[in-house]
Structure 1
Amino acid sequence: MSEKIMLRVPDKAKRLWDEWNIRCAVLISLLFQVVLIFSANSRKRTGGRLMTALIWSVYLLADWIAAFAVGLISSGQSNDCPEKVAVRKELAAFWAPFLLLHLGGPDVITAFSLEDNELWIRHLLGLMIQLLAVAYVFTQSLPNEFWIPTLLMFLAGSYKYAERTCALYKACLGNFKRSLLPKPDAGPNYAKLMEEYSAIEASQVPVNIEIVNEPEKDSAGTTVAPSPNDHMIVVSESEVELSDREIVTKGYEFFNTFKGLVVDHMFSFHERNESRKFFFQRTASDAFKVMEVELNFIYDALFTKMAVVHCKTGYLFRFLCAVLIVLCFQQFVSHHLHTDITLFDKIVTYILLGGAVCLEFVAFFNLVLSDWAIVSTTWIADLTRPCFCKGYRWSNTMSQHSFISFCLKERSKWVDKIADFCGIKETLDEFRYKGSAVFEDDLKEFIFKELKAKAEKAKTTKDAKEIYSSRGDGVLWNYPSHYPHPSISSSISDEVEYDESLMLWHIATELLYSTSSNIDQNGKFCKILSDYMLYLLVMRPMFMSAVAGIAQIRFQDTREEAKKFFQRWESELTPSAAEERHKQACKKLLEVKTTVVKADQKKTVIKPNEVKGDRSKSVLFDACILANDLEQLGESKKWEVMSKVWVELLCYAASHCRPNAHAQQLSKGGELITFVWLLMAHFGLGEQFRIESGHARAKLLVTK
C-alpha cells in the first residue's frame, strides 16, 4: 500500500494567517485603490509597456483582493470556533462595506480594455452576490454597536459598485450604439393616404396628390434649418484662433455629434458641412487641440465613470455618497470610545475611514478639474481657467521602427526561441527596436494643410470617396516628372497590395534619407512618417488588419533577404557607431546594380521577381529600384513628393482601420493615426455621411 503524503502547515503559520488575513486583505485592497486613482489616468498619456502592465495588474488584483476579503469576513462570521476569529465580528462587519466601496473602483478607471465593458453582466452578477454577502455579514453580527456606521457605509458602497456596473453597461459598444439611435419613425401613413385617394377617385371627384418636403434632420432626428450652402464647400481665408474655454466647449460639441464614429454610426450632410465649416477656419494647432478634447471625452465615456457621474442624477447621488461616508466617520468616532477594540484594529479602521474620505476628496477634485465640469458649469470654468490646456491629453509621440536598424541589431537565435516560447517576443521587440519621436508642431501643420487641401477638392461625395480611397497615386497627378520612372507609380497602384506599397516606400525612404547630404524639412517628415507607419504595420497590426494583406510574410521574407545581404558584406561594415553602420548598410544596398544594357544600347531594369520567381515575397531590391528612381526627381522635389505620398498612405490606413481599434488605443497613449482618422471625418472625407431629408408630406387636393 502506498502511503499518502500530506503537507502539514505549521501551527504557527496557521495562527499567523488567522490573525492577519482579514487585516492585510482590507489594507491591501485600499492600497490598490490609491494606486489606481493616481495612476490610471496616466495611461491615456503614455503607451509605455511598464506603466500599462502596472495598471493592468493592479486593476485585476483590486477586484480579486476585495472579493477575497469579503469571503474571509463572511467565513469568519459563520465560524463555530470563536478563538479562530482574530477580528471582532462587529468590527469585521463594519469593514465589509468598505470592500463594496473598493469594488466600485475609482472614477478614473472602470474598464482596462473595451472587452471589459462587454462583461457588464458579470459585474452585475458580482454586485448582487457581494451585496448579499455583506448583508449576510451584517445580519450575523447583530446586535452590533456599530450598526449605524456599518449601514451608512453599506449604502455608500452599494451605490459606488452599482455606479461602476452602470458605467460598464453604458460603455458596452452594443449599448453605446443603441443609445445613439433616433426614435423609431414609421413616416407618414401611406396606406391611409392611398385609401382616401381611392375613395375620392371612386366618387369621380378630380383629385391630385401634392408633395411637400419637410426640413432635413440630423443623425439624432433633430430638425435643422435649411441652408442654401449646405452642399457647397465653405472655405475661409482667415483662421480664427480659439480661447482655451472655446477649445473645450467645441471639443465637447463635436464629441456629442461624432462619438458615433467608434460604432460606425452614420451622419447627415448637415453635420458634415457644419464640421467642415468649423475646421476650415481653424489653425492646425487649434484643430488638434479640439480633437484632443474630443478624443478625451470618448476615452472618458468608454473607460471611466465620467459619463455616468456628469448628469444631475449623478451629481446628486455622488453628493449623498460623500455625505454618507463623512457621517460614517463621525458615527464611528463617537461609538468606538466606549468599546474594547485593540489599538491596531482602531488604526486599521481609521486608515479605512481616512482612505475613503481622501479618495472621495480626490475624486471630487478630479471632477471639478475635468473637461466635463468645464462645459457644464460656468463658475468652474472660470475657477479652473489656468488648467484648461496645460499639457497634453495624449502621449503626443509617434513610435518609430526602422527596418534597416532592425536587421542590423538582430538578437541571437536562442534568445528569440526562448522569448517566443515564453510569449514575450513582441514585448522584447518593442524594448529593443522601438524608438519614439515627438509630434512636433511643424509636422502637425503639414498634415493639417495636406488634409485641408484634399478636403477643398471634395465638393461632392464622389470626390470625397476618391480622395478617401487614394493611397499615394493622387499625389502623382500633380507631378508629371515621375512619368519616365514607372516604378514610382506602380509601387502605389491598386495592383500592389497596401502592405507592399508601405514596405517599398519605407525602405526607399530609409535608403535615401541615410545617404542624402542635404535633407530639408520634407525629408524629415518622410523619415518620421515612414518609421511610424512601419511601426504600425509590424507592432500594431490591429490598425492595419483591414489593409495588411500578407504583411507578416512579406516583412519576414524581406528581413531574411536583408540579413543575408548584410552578412555577405559583414567584413566591409566597420564596427563603428550605430548611425554610421546604418549609413554604410544603406550605401551597400544602393550600390546593387539593377539595370542591364541590352543590344539596342538601352538600359533596362531587371525586376527581382524575374530572377528569383515569386515564391519569396521580399521587396528589398524592388525598394532599391524605387529609391534610385526617386533620386532622379532631384533633391528637393523627391522629398516633396515623398512627404505627400506618406500622408496619403497614412490617411488610407486611418480611414480603413476598424473604429474599435482607434477607440482601444485611447487607453494606451493614443496614436497619430487616430487623429488623422478623426480629422478626415471632420473634413468630410469618408463614407460615414448620408443625406437625411425630412419626410415628404403628401396632400390630397380636390380640383374643380
Structure 2
Amino acid sequence: MGVASYITDHAKKIWDVWNLRGAILLSLSLQAFLILFATFRKRASKPAVIMLIWITYLLADWAASFAVGLISKSQFDRPGPDNNGDLLAFWAPFLLLHLGGPDTITSFSLEDNELWLRHLLGLVFQAIAVAYVFYQSLPNKLWMPTALVFLSGIIKYGERTRALYLASINRFRDSMHTKPDPGPNYAKLMEEYSSKIEAHLPARIDMIPEPNKESRIPNTTNSTAMDDIEVVQEARRFFEIFKGLFVDIIFSFRERNESRDFFHRTKPVATLRLLEVELNFFYDILYTKVVVVRDKFGYFWRFVCFGSVEIALALFFFMDKDGFGRFNVKVTYILLLGALALDVVALLQLIFSDWTVSALKNPKKHWVLAAIIGSYLSLKKSPWSDEEEEPEIRFLAWIKRHLFRRWSRSISRYNLIDYSIRERPQKIQTICDRVGHSFSKIIVLMGLKDFVDHMRYSSRTSFTKELWLFIHQELQDKSRLANDLGSAKRIYSARGEWALHNPHWNELLPFVTEVEYDESIILWHVATDLLYSTATETEQSNDCHVGFCKDLSDYMLYLLVVQPKMMSSIVGIGRIRFQDTCAEAKKFLSRKELSPHEEHKQASDYILKVKTTVRPVDVKGDRSKSVLFDASWLAKELRRYEDQKWKIMSKVWVELLSYAASHCTATAHAHQLSKGGELATFVWLLMAHFGLGEQFQISEGHARAKLIVKH
C-alpha cells in the first residue's frame, strides 16, 4: 500500500509540474509540424500521410484550447516557485498565436471553411479567456510583453477566421460575380427612335460592335519555350481567368479562344506543368491563408505581429527574472523563439511561393532574385522533359520526387477480378483463413468493410509521361474539331461513342450507347482485364496502348468504387452493379482450382471459356445487375479486331475518363486537391482550357446602339 501511495504521489507531482508546460510545448510542436509538413497532403496520396496531418490538425486546436483552460485554472492555485501567476499570464497569449494556425493550413477540408462563424466565436471566447487570465494576474510586471503577444495572437487568429470566410463557397462565389449588367438602355433608345419616326424624320439605328478589348493580361509569352518563372506567371494568368470554374461561373468565347489558342501551341509536358501550378493556386486560396496574407493590409499586420513578438522577447530578455524559476524561463524563451522561428519560416515560404514568382514583373532586371527563385522552381519541375538533361544525383532526384513535387504524380488502381479472387470462399480453409474469416465478420459488424476493402485492394502506380502524351493528344484532337458550340457540346457529352464513330467499329457502339455510364465502366473494365490477362508478353511490351488501357481501366473502377463522390452526379446504381458483378465472379471462381502464381490469368481464361451465344440478361433476367459475362461477350467481340483492339479500347477509356472528369462536380475536384490530386482533375482543367465544356456561354458583349437621323 505504501509503494502504491508513493507511486501515486510521485505521478501526481510529475503531472502538476508537466501538465501545463507539456500542453504548451505540445501546442508549439504541433504548429511547427503543420507549418513544415501540412503541404505534403497535396503531393502525397497515401492514406497514412493524410491521416497523420488530419490528426495533427485536430490536436493543434485541442492542445491550445486545453492549455488556455489549464492556465485559467492555475490562477486559482496558490503561487509557488514553479507556478508564477505573472509568467502564466504571459504564456496564455502564445496559445492565441497557436490557435491562429500556420499559413500552410487553415482548413483540412472544404467543410471546415463553412465553419468560419464557429471560429469567429472561438476567437471571441478565447480572447476573453486570455484577457481574464491577464486580469487575474494584475498587477503584473510582464504586462507590456503580454499585451504585445496578445495583440499578435488576435491578429493571427483573425487572419485564420477571415481566410476561412473568404474560402467558403458562398463568399468565394460572390467574389467572382461582377456588378449587375442591365445592358444598353433599350427603353430610352426606342423612345427616341419612335419620336423621330412619328415626326416623319428619316431615322435609323446603327449597331456599333463592342471593341475587342481584352480585360485580361495580354499574352506575350512564347508558349513553346517557357522557363520555370514564365510557367508560373502564365499559370497565374489563366488561374485568374478560370478560377470561377470551382463555383460554376460561365465564361465568354473570347476567354475560350484565348485559352484554346495558347494551349494548342504549348507542348504536352509544359501543359502539365502549367496545370500543376494552376491547381496549386486553387489549393492555396481554398486551404491556406494566402488570400489574407498577400495584400497590403496582410503585409502590414504581419509586420506588426513579428515586431510585437520581437519587442516582447527583448523586454523579457532585459527583465529581472528572479523568482520565475529556471525551467519556466526556459519554457518562455522556447515560446518566444518558437513564435519568431515560425514567422521566419512563414516569410521564407511566402518569398518562395508561386504567388511571389507570378508577381515578379521584370525577371531580367531582378536577375539575382530570379536566379534564386528559378533554382528553387527547378526542384518542383516534373521529371519529364522535352529536352535531354544531365542525369541527376540519386539523392537530389529523390528530394525532387518526394519533397518538392506539386502533386502525387500517381494514379490509383482497383481491380474487380483481383478483388473477387481474394474474397471468394475457399474450399479448404487453413487456420489463417479461419482467423481471417472471423476478423472479416467483426469488420462487417463494425460497418468498416468498405473502408478496409479500399485499403486492402487499392494500389497506386506512377503516372507516366507516355500516358499523359496520349491523353493530351486525344483531347487536343477533339478540341481542334470543336470550333462551334454545338460540336463542343457533342464532344463534351460523348462517353465512348465519339471514339467509335469509325464504321468498322460500329458493332461496339451498343456497349456504350445502350448501357448506363456506370455499367459501361464495369463492362469495359472487366473486358480490358480479361484481354490483358490473356495477352502475350510480346503483345504487352510492343503495344503502348495495352498499358494505357490497363492503367485507365483500373483507375476508372477506382473512381467508381473508392471515390463515389467524384462520380455521384453521373452514375446511378454503380455500387450495386459492382457488388452484384463481384458476387457472380466469386460464386463462379469458388468452383475453380487456381494456382497461387497464375490465379488471375487462370480466372480470366475460365471466364472467357464460358459460352455467351445468348445474352446473359435473356437467361438471368435483370434482378441481378451483374455484367460479368456481358463483359466476357464484349472481350470476345474485341478480339475480332486483333491488333486494333488496344487502340480502340484506349480511345474509349480516354473518353470515359474525360466524361467523368467534366461531369464531376467542381466541389469534388476541389476536395481532391488536398489529397494528393487526381488525374481526373487535371483532365477536367485541361478540357476547360481546350474549350471543351458547357461553361462557355457568352458569345459577345453588348454592341453600342447609335440613333442616326438624316436631314
Q: TM-score scaled by structure 2?
A: 0.89
The partner residue of 1:541 within 541, 544, 564 is 564
Indicate if the aligned counterparts of 1:419 and 1:425 stay in contact, CA closer than 8 A.
yes
Partner AA of 2:50 in structure 1: T
Secondary structure of the corresponding residue to residue 384 of structure 1: helix
- Give 2:607's aligned residue: 589
* Percent identity (aligned): 52
Structure 2 CA distance for aligned equivalents of residues 699 and 436 of structure 1: 63
Indicate if the aligned counterparts of 1:32 and 1:58 stay in contact, CA closer than 8 A.
yes
Structure 2 CA distance for aligned equivalents of residues 301 and 224 of structure 1: 21
**1:381 is aligned to 2:388:** no
User: Cα offset for 1:526?
Assistant: 0.4
The partner residue of 1:512 within 513, 527, 531 is 531
Secondary structure of the corresponding residue to residue 430 of structure 1: helix
The partner residue of 2:573 within 537, 543, 550 is 550
User: Cα offset for 1:184?
Assistant: 2.3
Structure 1 CA distance for aligned equivalents of residues 351 and 417 of structure 2: 49
Q: Unpaired runs of 5+ in structure 1?
A: 1-8, 228-237, 596-605
Q: 1:284 to 1:649 in 2, by over 3 A?
A: same
- Give 2:631's aligned residue: 623
Structure 1 CA distance for aligned equivalents of residues 34 and 455 of structure 2: 25
| 1:393-542 aligned within 5 A | 393-410=406-423, 412-478=436-502, 480-483=503-506, 486=507, 488-493=508-513, 495-517=514-536, 518-519=539-540, 520-542=543-565
- Give 1:292's aligned residue: 276
Indicate if the aligned counterparts of 2:81 and 2:325 stay in contact, CA closer than 8 A.
no
Indicate if the aligned counterparts of 2:412 and 2:458 stay in contact, CA closer than 8 A.
yes
- Give 2:683's aligned residue: 676
Superposed CA offset, 1:583-610 (max 9, x none) = 1111111111122xxxxxxxxxx00111
User: Cα offset for 1:57?
Assistant: 1.1
Indicate if the aligned counterparts of 1:499 and 1:548 stay in contact, CA closer than 8 A.
yes
Between stretches 255-264 and 83-92, larger displacement belongs to 83-92
Structure 1 CA distance for aligned equivalents of residues 352 and 453 of structure 2: 38
User: Cα offset for 1:318?
Assistant: 1.5
| 1:59-98 aligned within 5 A | 59-77=57-75, 79=76, 81-82=77-78, 87-98=83-94
Secondary structure of the corresponding residue to residue 708 of structure 2: strand
Superposed CA offset, 1:315-346 (max 9, x none) = 222222222222211111111x3431111111
- Give 2:617's aligned residue: 609
User: Cα offset for 1:205?
Assistant: 4.6
The partner residue of 1:349 within 328, 332, 337 is 332
Partner AA of 1:162 in structure 2: G
User: Cα offset for 1:288?
Assistant: 0.4
User: Cα offset for 1:142?
Assistant: 2.0
Q: Unpaired runs of 5+ in structure 2?
A: 1-6, 380-399, 425-435
Structure 1 CA distance for aligned equivalents of residues 13 and 377 of structure 2: 55
- Give 2:256's aligned residue: 272
User: Cα offset for 1:555?
Assistant: 0.6
Superposed CA offset, 1:346-380 (max 9, x none) = 11111111211111111112112111111123444
Structure 1 CA distance for aligned equivalents of residues 33 and 167 of structure 2: 23
- Give 1:309's aligned residue: 293
Indicate if the aligned counterparts of 1:44 and 1:667 stay in contact, CA closer than 8 A.
yes
Indicate if the aligned counterparts of 2:82 and 2:324 stay in contact, CA closer than 8 A.
no
Indicate if the aligned counterparts of 2:81 and 2:324 stay in contact, CA closer than 8 A.
no
Secondary structure of the corresponding residue to residue 700 of structure 2: coil
**1:171 is aligned to 2:140:** no
Indicate if the aligned counterparts of 1:215 and 1:224 stay in contact, CA closer than 8 A.
no
Q: TM-score scaled by structure 1?
A: 0.90
Between stretches 358-367 and 372-381, larger displacement belongs to 372-381
Partner AA of 2:52 in structure 1: L
Partner AA of 2:573 in structure 1: I
Secondary structure of the corresponding residue to residue 211 of structure 1: strand
Partner AA of 2:281 in structure 1: F
Structure 1 CA distance for aligned equivalents of residues 210 and 217 of structure 2: 10
- Give 1:44's aligned residue: 42
- Give 2:383's aligned residue: none
Structure 2 CA distance for aligned equivalents of residues 407 and 204 of structure 1: 85
Partner AA of 1:482 in structure 2: W
User: Cα offset for 1:381?
Assistant: 3.5
- Give 2:427's aligned residue: none
Secondary structure of the corresponding residue to residue 398 of structure 1: strand
Indicate if the aligned counterparts of 1:216 and 1:223 stay in contact, CA closer than 8 A.
no
- Give 1:371's aligned residue: 354
**Pairwise CA RMSD of aligned residues?**
2.2
Q: How many residues align?
A: 658
Secondary structure of the corresponding residue to residue 474 of structure 1: coil
Structure 1 CA distance for aligned equivalents of residues 79 and 137 of structure 2: 16
Structure 1 CA distance for aligned equivalents of residues 343 and 560 of structure 2: 43
**1:330 is aligned to 2:328:** no
Secondary structure of the corresponding residue to residue 158 of structure 2: helix
Structure 2 CA distance for aligned equivalents of residues 423 and 137 of structure 1: 45
Structure 2 CA distance for aligned equivalents of residues 279 and 562 of structure 1: 45
Structure 1 CA distance for aligned equivalents of residues 79 and 329 of structure 2: 20
